[in-house]
């Protein structure tokens, strides 16, 4: 009886040790997590409305549309390119447009982009005049594909038409505007349809 009990205990100890060794040899792999795509990366299209005040003359209402692309190259930094075209009731500037780079940060909040912007400007009341623009803004992604922004720009156009080089008659004006953007994937239609 004692021998049987001893043999049973020895067998239990050996089998428990083998199970423990087997468990310790298995390495538990961490679960595979798919990171969501960066919030700000992608194309967008939108509209804006605001006001403009020239250095000379009367201010007025401005409004138009914009098209751009952002690339979020780290959790905190976003770079992009935007072009826009505007109608205006300001004196001396009945329309204008810009092609600008944007560089911003999401350090305050992942859904809040604070950015600076600058680049090429053109416009006038008759023939096109060339110039430059610089400014900044804040954009808030309030939904997965939608964002709202408030932006300030200073625009300076040459007084000479047809993109001439004359500088002494340059015209500058300030722009403050609010806008709404919709972010989209232009290649989504190329994806195969999902099976139901």
Is residue 65 within 8 A of residue 45, CB to CB? The reply is yes
* Nearest Cα to Cα of residue 90 among 134, 126, 127, 124: 124
Of the two residues 144 and 10, the one the predictor is more confident about is 144
DSSP string over 88-136: EEETTEEEEEEEEEEEEEEEEETTEEEEEEEEEEEEESSS-EEEEEEEE
Share of the chain above pLDDT 70, in %: 70
Of the two residues 14 and 170, the one the predictor is more confident about is 170
Residue 5 confidence class, pLDDT cut points 50, 70, 90: very low
Instruction: Measure the CA angle with vertex 62, ends 104 and 113; round to 5°.
Output: 15
pTM of the model: 0.75
């Amino acid at each position: 009886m004692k021998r049987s009990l001893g043999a049973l205990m020895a067998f239990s100890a050996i089998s428990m040790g083998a199970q423990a060794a087997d468990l310790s040899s298995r390495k538990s792999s961490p679960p595979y997590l798919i990171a969501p795509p960066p919030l700000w990366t992608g194309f967008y299209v939108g509209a804006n409305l605001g006001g403009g005040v020239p250095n000379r003359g009367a201010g007025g209402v401005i409004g138009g549309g914009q098209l751009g692309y952002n690339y979020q190259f780290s959790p905190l930094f976003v770079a992009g390119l935007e072009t826009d075209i505007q109608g205006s009731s300001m004196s001396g500037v009945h329309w204008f447009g810009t092609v600008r780079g944007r560089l911003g940060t999401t350090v305050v909040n992942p859904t809040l982009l604070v950015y600076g912007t600058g680049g090429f400007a053109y416009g006038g009341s008759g023939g096109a005049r060339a110039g430059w623009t610089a400014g900044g803004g804040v954009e808030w992604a309030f939904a997965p594909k939608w964002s709202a922004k408030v932006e300030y720009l200073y625009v300076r156009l040459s007084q000479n038409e047809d993109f001439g080089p004359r500088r002494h008659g340059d015209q500058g004006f300030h722009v403050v505007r609010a806008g709404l953007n919709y972010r989209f994937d232009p290649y989504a239609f190329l994806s195969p349809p999902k099976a139901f």
